[in-house]
Chain A
Amino acid sequence: MGRLAWIRLGVIAGFIGLLEILCRGGAIGRLTMIPPSEMAAALVELIASGAVDDDIGRTLGSVAAAFTLAVVFGFVGGVALHAIPRLRRAADPLLATYYAVPFFVMIIATLNGLDRIPRVLDKVARTHRMRPLETALRLKLPAAAPYLFTGVKLAIAYSFIGVIASEFILAASGLGYQIAYAYNNFDNRTMYALMLFVLTLVTTINMALYVWERRLQRRRLGR
């Protein structure tokens, strides 16, 4: 690990440590927040008891479904809008308004990617007399891939946000529902354990994708 990573770790550890001290010292009341160490202990108990297995499964299932639909339809929609510039100009403000929705995120990423395909690739395709399908698969898709990857990454994040938000309001199972339920019952231990679980899970997934993306970019730039 480099120096930067150590400083980063120090900042995060310091923040958690501060929270722990504030909670233990009584500056933050127990009704507001339990110490981070207790959250972790409560989470381990909760997972070991298996009480939330169904909810975890349900939430992950919904996220996977939402993500797949968003990526597939977003990609198709992006390609269609790219092909019809007039429609695209008219739809622009609409896209900008709704981009916290995974489907729109993917449309925007697709448009971005297609916009940035170098012109020269068209000429390459023509000189090699490639068929349209072949051009799309072997030239355009790889050229647009980094932007599509960004879209996929954001679509995962927004799928989680959307699914958990709607579980808060409109569901009778799932992690969001369980957090809201624990909150309504003043069950702070379960609530903070589940919050910790969601935050850790999402952060791990996002960080893995972030690191992977950086590695891809570095390779593209030939560094």
Chain B
Amino acid sequence: MTAIRRAFDVALLLAVLAAIWQGLYMFAGDVAIASPAETVRHVFVLLERPRFWGHIEETLSAFAYALVISWAGGVGIGVWLGAHRLSGEVAEPILVALYSLPKVTLYPLILLVFGLGMPAKVAFGAIHGIIPVTIFTMNAVRNIRPVYVKAARVLRLSPQQTVTGVLLPATLPEVVSGLRVGFSLTLLGVLIGEMFASKRGLGFLIINAIGLNDVETMMAVTLLLFVFAAAANAFLLALDRRLHKRV
């Protein structure tokens, strides 16, 4: 019953957003935005083009690489900084400062180092995603109940066993929260990277469509990305909630 009601609420919210969108369209006209119906129609037009799938594939593979780097790197560094108190305390303000930097500023540097293309996009995504994952993991490991660590020591677990057998399971809910944040920011980073540093991918399509004033394509790609991001987030959020409830 509650599930049905929630689904109804979500549908209602989406309907209201679509209505606002339609209203904006009627107010601003064809030049600025496309109507919801046209945009959805155009999504299907794009999906029928084989070349469009090439762009999707390009973005998804860049995103996958970047996500692996920021998740694995973030959890790895986070566990180290959380377990080793001095390193963690030295690093925390530095991490916070790095987290809130406008990383777009660094994009010329990334391009000069990696050149145009896939590696630059991946690097751009990874620098956006890795820091929040690190911060969440570090805090989770740091706030772990001391008795767990003691138990690991009593059982004479190796450092590797301690991490995989004790630290990660105990911190799973917080780590998943971090992964969720990292997911969104990595996607953002990859797309921004594509906007500047690429001739392929969905970010490039958007910036190209802006240049050509091809409003329909711009809106259609944006809608597609929105649906993808919202669906992935809803899934991770549900996982996150379930894990937090379990503990």
- Interface residue range, chain A: 35 or more
Q: Is A32 an interface residue when CB atoms closer than 8 A count as contact? A: yes
- Which residues of A sit under 8 angstroms from B111, Cβ to Cβ? 183
Does the CB pair B104–A161 fall under 8 Å?
yes
Q: Is A64 an interface residue when CB atoms closer than 8 A count as contact? A: no
Q: Tell me whether A90 and B109 are in contact in the complex, defined as CB-CB below 8 angstroms, given that A161-B103, A169-B207, A206-B96 are known contacts.
A: no
- Which residues of A sit under 8 angstroms from B102, Cβ to Cβ? 160-161, 164-165, 198, 202
- Which residues of B sit under 8 angstroms from A176, Cβ to Cβ? 104-105
Q: Is B24 an interface residue when CB atoms closer than 8 A count as contact? A: no
Least distance between B170 CB and chain A CB atoms (Å): 24
Smallest CB-CB separation from A184: which chain B residue? B108
Does the CB pair B233–A8 fall under 8 Å?
no
Does the CB pair A100–B13 fall under 8 Å?
no
A91–B30 CA distance with the chains assembled, in angstroms: 28
- Which residues of B sit under 8 angstroms from A183, Cβ to Cβ? 108, 111
Report the 9 A-B pairs with minimum CB-CB distance, sorted nearest first.
A157-B100, A90-B9, A93-B234, A183-B108, A161-B102, A90-B13, A165-B104, A164-B102, A32-B112
Interface residues of A (CB under 8 A from B): 4, 7-8, 11-12, 31-33, 86-87, 89-94, 96-97, 99-100, 154, 157, 160-161, 164-165, 168-170, 176, 179-180, 183, 191, 195, 198-199, 202-203, 206-207, 210
Can you name 19 A-B pairs with beta carbons within 8 Å? A4-B90, A11-B94, A32-B112, A33-B109, A89-B9, A92-B237, A93-B230, A96-B180, A100-B185, A160-B100, A170-B210, A179-B105, A183-B111, A199-B105, A202-B100, A202-B102, A206-B96, A206-B97, A210-B97
